[in-house]
Structure 1
Amino acid sequence: MSVFLFKRLFTFLATLAVASVLVFTVLELLPGNVAQVMLGETATPESIAALEKKLGLDQPPLQRYLHWVAGLLQGRTANSFSYDTPTAELIAERLQVTLPLGVLAMVLTTVLALALGIYAAARHNRLGDVSVMAASQLGIAIPSFWFAILLILLFAVQLQWVSAGGFPGWTEDDGGGLVDGLKALILPAIALALVQAAILARVTRSAVLEVMREDYVRTARAKGLSRRQTLWRHVLRNAMIPVLTIMGLQFANLITGTIVVENVFVLPGIGRLVFQAIANRDLVVVRDVVMGLVAVVVVVNFLVDVLYAVVDPRLKASDA
């Protein structure tokens, strides 16, 4: 087990190192001048040069990269050009919206997809199976932002059950509360979960059907176990490996994919922060947010690898 975890941890750290180089390089190659954007078109060359020196943009790229990485390793970040606030504080503040939204969307995705996938597999080639597959195909075809607009029109405009956008906050001091906060996130979570649930339901169905064709499943049925007992005792655990793979990728996609949906619902999350930072050419914020999202994706994949070893101990033995 230790060898297995060591290999995965090494891959995790190497991926972060390569990603940091790519993120920094790509942002460096973007056209435009941050100081020019901040000061406006009428700024003099002298004032632009002075601001570049203040922001550290006059230093060589390698020196700025090493300074950035050293700061991340020490737990400190540079100040945002636009907000004059450390990016870590901005990101932490916006994660209070984005992270609960991603978790809520993932819970909805998992519950809905596993229930539909198992239901379809248990009724293979029957009406229930065909109906689930048709619905999932429709779910995959619908863009999240378009479905979000439909949800707003139905539940906010027509039925007026919820507000069309905005976030009241998690505490009464902010003017909201736990219930109000969850109420504001439920429609965005549904919009995000639709496509992911459709994909995961199809993967779950395929994985369950593949395992149900194995010899040991037929042996269990021959010993007198019912179809339901065989499904829950023998099939699901072995079918979970491909399902876990997709679930790990989907959670990362839900976090990184909130940019569009948060802007549709005017939620003050990571998506809005990135959108505003790009508009203001605040590359310090863009760089740290993108690097944070990369870290989320890599960490989730690392945890999925560890779950593989829990679900299928043969993986640990093969890496020993």
Structure 2
Amino acid sequence: MRNYLFKRLLISIPTLIAISVVIFTILAIAPGDPMAEFASNPSITEEVKENIRKALGLDQPVYIRYFKWSLAFIQGDMGYSFTSKSPVFGLILQRLPTTLWIVGLAYFFSLLIAFPLGIVSAIKRYSAADQLVTTFSFFGISLPPFFTGLLLIIIFSVQLNWLPFIYNSTLEVNDWASFIEEIKQSIMPIAVLAFYQAALLMRFIRSSILEELNQDYVRTARAKGLSGFWVLMIHILRNAMIPVVTLIALDIPKIFTGALITEQVFRVPGIGALLIDSIYKNDTPVVMAITFIYAILIVVFNLIADLTYGWLDPRVRL
């Protein structure tokens, strides 16, 4: 297992370096000038603009800027935002709790929903329960989150007036009443994300278990007298989890980056909204930091998934 981990690390490190080069190069040559916000200000002369450009390091060649950025990033310095002049790390930390609260809870609830329903749907194939779960999953996959979000806003905010349709970022939870308000304003974005993610996971879990049900080892286990439940728990579930682990490993980093569309619909001040705003404003340091952190998380959780494969199926380590 140690050699297997070492091999995966040897692949992961060059992958991250290549990703950082691609991200930095694309954003460096992308159209748009970070100094555009000063263009309409007559009080800022060309000399001042040039001094600001030098202070931001924009007058240097791309490769020098890349090496300076990468060395600073390794040391924990993600630079300063072009628009707010604040440290990028501080901006991310400011938005991170909201993103973890909304997207993290949504993913947690989606796992609680998807696993039991996906297993029941596979075991009770073609039954009424299977048809109900399959219909639910098809609706969840087919309906885009922005449509589901707008639908919930129309029903629960406009028609029934039960829930607020705009997330109040200034709300401070310091008593029971404010905690209830926080719950109320979080229900709809969490429901939208959990509905979509649970539907996707259910399809994968159901398909993975169905592929294993007709394998020879399952028939052998049943011939030995094992009941359906124990056959599933001891034999099928462990093998069926390999493709599901891949999907979960790729989805968990989204908890950090947030839900871009859902955060825009409900005005949730998460990292996804910060990324969209930074793209509009050509705030390159913020975009690079969020994008590269997401890439790091993808590589790390892929590594975790590979190690999980080795535990689920020892043949992978060979």
What is the TM-score normalised by the length of structure 1?
0.90
Deviation of residue 13 (structure 1)?
A: 1.6
Q: Which stretch has the larger CA shift, 128-137 or 81-90?
A: 128-137
Equivalences for residues 51-62 of structure 1 within 5 A: 51-62=52-63
RMSD after superposition? 2.3
Deviation of residue 257 (structure 1)?
A: 5.5
* Distance of 1:251 and 1:183 partners within structure 2: 25
Residue type of the alignment partner of 1:219: T
Equivalences for residues 25-40 of structure 1 within 5 A: 25-40=25-40
Secondary structure at the aligned position of 1:172 is classed as coil
Q: Could you give the per-residue CA deviations for residues 175-219 of structure 1, whole angstroms, max 9, x where no partner exists?
A: 986554444333212212222222211111111111111222112
Which position in structure 1 is the counterpart of 2:282?
281
Which position in structure 2 is the counterpart of 1:166?
167
* Distance of 1:75 and 1:177 partners within structure 2: 35
Which position in structure 2 is the counterpart of 1:197?
198
Equivalences for residues 116-135 of structure 1 within 5 A: 116-135=117-136
Which position in structure 1 is the counterpart of 2:5?
5
Contact 2:137 2:202 in 1 (8 A): yes
Contact 1:109 1:193 in 2 (8 A): yes
Return structure 1 stretches of 4+ with deviation > 6 angstroms: none
Deviation of residue 174 (structure 1)?
A: 11
Deviation of residue 270 (structure 1)?
A: 0.5
Which position in structure 2 is the counterpart of 1:71?
72
* Distance of 1:190 and 1:172 partners within structure 2: 21
Which position in structure 1 is the counterpart of 2:303?
302
* Distance of 2:313 and 2:265 partners within structure 1: 41
- Structure 2: runs of 5 or more not aligned: none
Residue type of the alignment partner of 1:19: I
What is the TM-score normalised by the length of structure 2?
0.91
* Distance of 2:186 and 2:157 partners within structure 1: 13
Distance 1:119 1:71, change over 3 A: same
Which position in structure 2 is the counterpart of 1:105?
106
Secondary structure at the aligned position of 1:152 is classed as helix
Contact 1:169 1:175 in 2 (8 A): no
Contact 2:78 2:87 in 1 (8 A): yes
Deviation of residue 161 (structure 1)?
A: 3.3
* Distance of 1:139 and 1:90 partners within structure 2: 33
* Distance of 2:11 and 2:155 partners within structure 1: 46
Which position in structure 2 is the counterpart of 1:144?
145
Deviation of residue 37 (structure 1)?
A: 2.3
Deviation of residue 131 (structure 1)?
A: 2.8
Q: Which stretch has the larger CA shift, 283-292 or 189-198?
A: 189-198
Deviation of residue 46 (structure 1)?
A: 2.7
Q: Which stretch has the larger CA shift, 280-289 or 228-237?
A: 228-237
Equivalences for residues 86-105 of structure 1 within 5 A: 86-105=87-106
* Distance of 1:46 and 1:262 partners within structure 2: 40
Deviation of residue 301 (structure 1)?
A: 1.4
